Amino acid sequence: MKYLAKCTFIAVLAMPVLGWAANVRGKLERVAGYPAGYIRVTINCAGRRTNSVYTGGDGFYFVPKVPAGSCVLEIWNAKDKPVSFQIQVREPSTQVPTVKLP
């Protein structure tokens, strides 16, 4: 019984670590210098894609709960295929440099 209690205690301590993730934010701009509003953005980490978010009218986006590590920022400027950029996600938050779009 003591063994089961110790295992349960260790599992409970490990749970927050397993669920920890980072917030990713950034901005999209057009080459002409104005914000790229209402563009779909996703992040793909090890084959798992986040839920879609959209840039605001100011071109800023915010993606919550992204696993830390090497990921791909996907910008769905066209309907069929995203423009992809390699990013490094770090906890607790990552600021992606401004991306210029045509």
The structural domains of the chain, with segments of one domain joined by +, span 21-101
Instruction: Please state whether the predicted TM-score (pTM) of the whole model is above 0.95.
Output: no
Q: What is the pLDDT, as a whole number, of residue 80? A: 82
Which residue, 6, 3, 23, is CA-closest to 14?
6
- CA dist 84 → 68, 79, 87 (Å): 18, 14, 10
Q: Is the pLDDT of residue 6 over 90?
A: no
- Inform me whether the pLDDT recorded for 43 exceeds 70: yes
Q: Which of 40, 72, 70, 76 is nearest to 55 (CA)?
A: 40
Q: How many helices (H) and strands (E) does the chain have?
A: 1, 9
What's the pLDDT band for 10 if we cut at 50, 70, 90? very low
Which CATH class, in words, describes the domain spanning 21-101?
mainly beta
Distance in angstroms (rounded) separating the CA atoms of residues 75 and 69: 19
